[in-house]
Amino acid sequence: MAKYTEMSDEELALEIRDLRAEYRKYQGMNLNLNMSRGKPCKEQLDLSMGMMDTLNSEADMTCEDGTDCRNYGVLDGIHEAKVLIGDMMENNPDDIIIYGNSSLNVMYDTVSRAMTHGVMGSTPWCRLDKVKFLCPVPGYDRHFGITEYFGIENIPVPMSPTGPDMDMVEKMVAEDDAIKGIWCVPKYSNPQGYSYSDETVRRFARLKPAAKDFRIFWDNAYGIHHLYDMDQDYLIEILAECKRAGNPDLVYKFASTSKITFPGSGIAALASSPNNLVDIRNQLKHQTIGHDKVNQLRHVRFFGDIHGMVEHMKKHAAIIRPKFEAVEQIFEENLGGRGIGEWTKPKGGYFISFDSMDGCAKKIVAAAKKAGVTLTPAGATWPYGKDPHDSNIRIAPTYPTLEELKTAATLFTVCVRLVSAEKIAADRASTPVQVQQ
Amino acid sequence: MAKYTEMSDEELALEIRDLRAEYRKYQGMNLNLNMSRGKPCKEQLDLSMGMMDTLNSEADMTCEDGTDCRNYGVLDGIHEAKVLIGDMMENNPDDIIIYGNSSLNVMYDTVSRAMTHGVMGSTPWCRLDKVKFLCPVPGYDRHFGITEYFGIENIPVPMSPTGPDMDMVEKMVAEDDAIKGIWCVPKYSNPQGYSYSDETVRRFARLKPAAKDFRIFWDNAYGIHHLYDMDQDYLIEILAECKRAGNPDLVYKFASTSKITFPGSGIAALASSPNNLVDIRNQLKHQTIGHDKVNQLRHVRFFGDIHGMVEHMKKHAAIIRPKFEAVEQIFEENLGGRGIGEWTKPKGGYFISFDSMDGCAKKIVAAAKKAGVTLTPAGATWPYGKDPHDSNIRIAPTYPTLEELKTAATLFTVCVRLVSAEKIAADRASTPVQVQQ
């Protein structure tokens, strides 16, 4: 297919005319589709309905150590939940704290605690003149939102298919003790679906931060969220690697079952070193008497063990894999070779990252919106919502039905083509023509 | 019965000899009983097992507005849960935020947010040299623990059967702008079971604090936790009273279903003014995508409405009322008229407050412990665990069976009598005898 930039003015004008007609056709369809957030679809939610039967009124509500899960107590989670989530996170059950329904809330709490109480005895961050966080970009808007809310300066660091730019990360954390953390989605990253390479993980574990209270916020949100059974990304387990590297306290690792059972009604967890866990439990004992043990027990009884959970994830994959493949096929067919955009082809997670020509993302998202398809706002993948290239758009293919998704993805490509063609035409019109003498 | 202080030395010596023998008899029983925390007993937990059937695998998981409760979203709670909890809290559903499983966690968050972000635009408390909270005493140890954890100075204010000493409260908050809050359990207070009088509530609503960011932390933990159907305490609803008094933003009100359904697996809520709720939602949107809506739906389906909840609470009362009555009867029989202790006779809530002679509480708790009965540590009802009189002991009668409770309560009275008699004897021995000339 022809590159748009190589088209003649006449060809481009014809293309724009055709695309406008096609776009108007979509506008006439009164669409109301949403590719904005990483939400499971109804069929995925139905996979976990069996969990609702695991604890009925006849159920034994005691856990293995005899604790009645209905009553108060057990601050950091019932043991069998730690075992299950430990297998899920690839961590020792003893290194895990089970929380409530939201790993985002655990991350928020972790930053909040550091603000008011520091990290393992360090000066509370709220007492420092300046606190900075590194934010691999494009990245997860809700991560950046937490640190922004606390007045922490979010500093973008470029992502690549192997992870963040580690030369930059190593240099910055070594030189600036105001840098207290970095947000990471190390596997099937949000939004690219990239997984950190072995070298990246090893370099993370060997960081030499100037700040003793620097921590890696390792949000392994998609650890077992593969699209394929064999063709999976593998991530070196960070806590073990940090331990081997002599930096055992460097990482807070987060995960949840939000996209395994029910978003908002799953269980979240944090894994970290014994030193960090002592620090955290000292807060936790003032914060709560304990999290929802009945829901922990419900999850354990439903899955049995990690094999049960892995088999369950295959059912998720069977539902959402065709959606990822449909988007990729539509993008390839409609955008391939035109030189107006690139997109990732993840093997897991919940997103596809799309990069338009510079200066087109906001217009593409606005055009899609006007035709009834909601996308994540352009810029959302950057700190403060400001993408300096105005090029990155996060595509979330899981929530719509396959048919809806195909419509939405096709419209999206129409918007990309139209906005890109119009931009190229406008750029040409505003550029003085080099007249051949 | 004779007052111990009026016994002759010989009578007292005989009493001590008999009590030591009785105490040793209990020690020989290898008891392992617990009257330390306000935990429902197994029979109470069984009352809510029907809730486990309300959402099975065939259930409709959508709420009234069509939202699928299994998926992400609905930051501050589903509407029907706000209606139910609104009726429970006597507040407008629109003035309520539904949280996760723990009202303690909501209170912790509320203090934590004020530390880092202030209250409705005020200076964050962490930037102030000094922050103080008023703590009605005796009171709830976990309340005091939260403010202590944040380095806030806890200042005791005496409680009476009508509530905190309002002369003192009014004077202190008007004069000292470092006082930012007061912890209140206004109905069936922890540990006394007192309910604030109409005058107390009205004076609270009319407070004129020097600090604009002063808030009343109104933990209405036992709002519908009556022991009797008709003989109930009534509390003026504080938000409405504050509104009438022209102080609409003065109060954060907390409640939960922890002692209605399952502790740790209930739902918690906060009610406050629209201004405060805006402030809180601005935090909440960074903290979480939403709380556990499935559990909210489960509660709504189980109770139906407030009448269902009230009927349910009658079943709780039927189980625990005999326990309160048994303790009161045993205390009256064994301690009445001896002048060595006083106790409250609440009409609801989870506790009885016992005041020994000054300087005896720690010894009584230690003696009970040595005979196998665990009580809340003496001093726990005071900030920093320091009861200046060493006299207050919180009795929690709900968790043991009635038979166990009778044994524990009787042993407790033996410990009170023994420690008191020994103290009186020791005091006499160390006091120079006034020899009659």
| pLDDT tens digits, one per residue of B16-25 | 999 999 999 9
Best CA proximity match to B277, nearest among B103, B92, B69: B92
> Taking a contact as any Cβ pair under 8 Å apart, which residues of chain B between 81 and 100 contact chain A?
100
Query: DSSP letters along A342-371, please?
Result: EE---SBSS-EEEEESTT-HHHHHHHHHHT
| pLDDT tens digits, one per residue of A257-275 | 999 999 999 999 999 999 9
> What is the pLDDT averaged over residues B87-91?
98
- Whether the CB of B234 is below 8 Å from some CB of chain A: the reply is no
Percentage of the residues of chain B whose pLDDT score is greater than 70: 99
Query: Shortest CB distance from A68 goes to which of B42, B69, B150?
Result: B42
Closest-CA residue in chain A for B72?
Answer: A263
**Which residues in chain B are closer than 8 Å to A123, comparing Cβ atoms?**
none
d(CA B428, CA A326): 92
> What is the pLDDT averaged over residues B196-210?
98
- Whether the CB of B32 is below 8 Å from some CB of chain A: the reply is no
**Which residues in chain A are closer than 8 Å to B34, comparing Cβ atoms?**
none
Rounded (5°) CA angle A98-A104-A106: 40
Query: How many C-beta atoms lie closer than 10 Å to residue A198's C-beta?
Result: 12
Query: Shortest CB distance from A264 goes to which of B55, B283, B289?
Result: B289
Interface-testing mutation among A99, A108, A262, with chain B (most B C-beta atoms within 10 A): A262
In angstroms, what separates the C-alpha of A303 from chain B's closest C-alpha?
A: 15
Beta bridge partners of A132: A153, A179
Helix (H, G, I), strand (E, B) or coil at B305: coil
- What is the predicted pLDDT for the residue at B360? 98
- Whether the CB of A72 is below 8 Å from some CB of chain B: the reply is yes
pLDDT at residue B419 greater than cutoff 70: yes
**Which residues in chain B are closer than 8 Å to A292, comparing Cβ atoms?**
100-101, 264-265, 292, 295
Cβ atoms of residues B349 and B189 within 8 Å: yes
- Whether the CB of B101 is below 8 Å from some CB of chain A: the reply is yes
Which backbone phi and psi does B183 adopt, to 5 degrees?
Answer: -85, 125
Residues in contact with B155: Cβ distance below 8 Å, sequence separation at least 6, in sequence order: B132, B133, B134, B135, B172, B179, B383
Residues in contact with B82: Cβ distance below 8 Å, sequence separation at least 6, in sequence order: B93, B94, B96, B98
Does the distance separating the beta carbons of B264 and A294 come in below 8 Å? Answer: yes
- What is the predicted pLDDT for the residue at B37? 87
Q: How confident is the model at residue A26 (pLDDT cuts 50, 70, 90)?
A: very high
The owner of tokens 């509660």 is B299
Kind of pairing, strands A373-375 and A352-356?
A: unpaired
The whole-chain average pLDDT of chain B stands at 97
Best CA proximity match to B271, nearest among B139, B106, B118: B106
Kind of pairing, strands B33-35 and B373-375?
A: parallel
**Which residues in chain B are closer than 8 Å to A55, comparing Cβ atoms?**
52
pLDDT at residue A1 greater than cutoff 90: no
CA atoms within 13 A on the CB side of B309: 24
pLDDT at residue A434 greater than cutoff 70: no
Best CA proximity match to A52, nearest among B303, B301, B312: B301
d(CA A264, CA A49): 14
| A195-A200-A206-A209 Cα dihedral, nearest 10 degrees | -90
Percentage of the residues of chain B whose pLDDT score is greater than 90: 97
| pLDDT tens digits, one per residue of B268-282 | 999 999 999 999 999
In angstroms, what separates the C-alpha of B301 from chain A's closest C-alpha?
A: 14
Helix (H) or strand (E) holding B116: helix B103-117
Beta bridge partners of B167: none
Query: Shortest CB distance from A264 goes to which of B71, B115, B263?
Result: B71
| pLDDT tens digits, one per residue of A358-408 | 999 999 999 999 999 999 999 999 999 999 999 999 999 999 999 999 999
CA B72, chain centre distance (Å): 33
Q: How confident is the model at residue B101 (pLDDT cuts 50, 70, 90)?
A: very high
Best CA proximity match to B72, nearest among A408, A203, A256: A256
Query: Shortest CB distance from B70 goes to which of A149, A262, A295?
Result: A262
Orientation angle between helical segments A306-335 and A402-430, nearest 10 degrees: 40
Query: How many C-beta atoms lie closer than 10 Å to residue A149's C-beta?
Result: 18
Whether the bond between B383 and the residue before it is cis, its omega within 30 degrees of 0, is no
Best CA proximity match to A224, nearest among A394, A423, A89: A89
d(CA B55, CA B299): 10
- Between the alpha carbon of residue A123 and those of residues A113, A128, A207, A278, the distances in Å are 11, 8, 21, 17
- What is the predicted pLDDT for the residue at B166? 98
pLDDT at residue B240 greater than cutoff 60: yes
- What is the predicted pLDDT for the residue at B432? 72
**Which residues in chain A are closer than 8 Å to B39, comparing Cβ atoms?**
71-72
CA atoms within 13 A on the CB side of A68: 15
Does the distance separating the beta carbons of A52 and B55 come in below 8 Å? Answer: yes
CA atoms within 13 A on the CB side of A67: 20
Query: DSSP letters along A117-128, please?
Result: H-STTPPPGGGS
- What is the predicted pLDDT for the residue at B134? 98
Closest-CA residue in chain B for A288?
Answer: B105
- Whether the CB of B155 is below 8 Å from some CB of chain A: the reply is no
The owner of tokens 């070779």 is A337
Query: DSSP letters along B138-204, please?
Result: S--HHHHHHHHHTTPEEEEEEEETTEE-HHHHHHHHHH-TTEEEEEE--SS-TTT-----HHHHHHH
**Which residues in chain A are closer than 8 Å to B105, comparing Cβ atoms?**
287-288
d(CA B99, CA B102): 8
**Which residues in chain A are closer than 8 Å to B288, comparing Cβ atoms?**
102, 104-105, 108
Best CA proximity match to B118, nearest among A124, A108, A126: A126
In angstroms, what separates the C-alpha of A239 from chain B's closest C-alpha?
A: 25
CA B129, chain centre distance (Å): 30
Q: How confident is the model at residue B437 (pLDDT cuts 50, 70, 90)?
A: low
**Which residues in chain B are closer than 8 Å to A116, comparing Cβ atoms?**
112, 115-116, 126, 150
Query: Shortest CB distance from B112 goes to which of A56, A70, A116?
Result: A116
Query: Shortest CB distance from A292 goes to which of B150, B265, B283?
Result: B265
The owner of tokens 């978003």 is A263
| pLDDT tens digits, one per residue of A154-198 | 999 999 999 999 999 999 999 999 999 999 999 999 999 999 999
pLDDT at residue A435 greater than cutoff 70: no
Tokens of A396: 């979330």
Tokens of B93: 């559903």
d(CA A195, CA B192): 57
pTM for the model stands at 0.96
Q: Judge residue A432's burial from the number of C-beta atoms within 10 Å of its C-beta, 0-12 exposed, 13-18 middle, 19 or more buried.
A: exposed
Residues in contact with A38: Cβ distance below 8 Å, sequence separation at least 6, in sequence order: A190, A259, A350, A351, A396, A398
- Whether the CB of A123 is below 8 Å from some CB of chain B: the reply is no
Cβ atoms of residues B31 and B37 within 8 Å: no
Query: Shortest CB distance from A293 goes to which of B264, B287, B292?
Result: B264
Helix (H, G, I), strand (E, B) or coil at B346: coil
CA A58, chain centre distance (Å): 39
- Whether the CB of B298 is below 8 Å from some CB of chain A: the reply is no
- What is the predicted pLDDT for the residue at A28? 95
- Between the alpha carbon of residue A277 and those of residues A248, A249, A342, the distances in Å are 12, 10, 42
Query: Shortest CB distance from B72 goes to which of A59, A124, A264?
Result: A264
Does the distance separating the beta carbons of B108 and A115 come in below 8 Å? Answer: no
d(CA A321, CA B401): 55
Does the distance separating the beta carbons of B265 and A294 come in below 8 Å? Answer: yes
d(CA B351, CA B343): 10
Q: How confident is the model at residue A433 (pLDDT cuts 50, 70, 90)?
A: low
Which backbone phi and psi does B54 adopt, to 5 degrees?
Answer: -65, -30
In angstroms, what separates the C-alpha of B266 from chain A's closest C-alpha?
A: 8
**Which residues in chain B are closer than 8 Å to A99, comparing Cβ atoms?**
none
Helix (H, G, I), strand (E, B) or coil at A331: helix
Q: Judge residue A88's burial from the number of C-beta atoms within 10 Å of its C-beta, 0-12 exposed, 13-18 middle, 19 or more buried.
A: buried
Cβ atoms of residues B408 and B33 within 8 Å: yes
CA A184, chain centre distance (Å): 9
**Beta-carbon pairs below 8 A across chains A and B:** 160
Residue type at position B220: N
Query: Shortest CB distance from B116 goes to which of A59, A115, A265?
Result: A115
Kind of pairing, strands B392-395 and A268-271?
A: unpaired
**Which residues in chain A are closer than 8 Å to B59, comparing Cβ atoms?**
52
| pLDDT tens digits, one per residue of B135-165 | 999 999 999 999 999 999 999 999 999 999 9
| pLDDT tens digits, one per residue of A109-123 | 999 999 999 999 999
In angstroms, what separates the C-alpha of A101 from chain B's closest C-alpha?
A: 6
Query: DSSP letters along A62-89, please?
Result: B-TTS-BTTSS--TT--HHHHHHHHHHH
Does the distance separating the beta carbons of A72 and B57 come in below 8 Å? Answer: no
- What is the predicted pLDDT for the residue at B11? 96
Query: Shortest CB distance from B292 goes to which of A127, A150, A265?
Result: A265
Helix (H, G, I), strand (E, B) or coil at B254: strand
pLDDT at residue B436 greater than cutoff 70: no
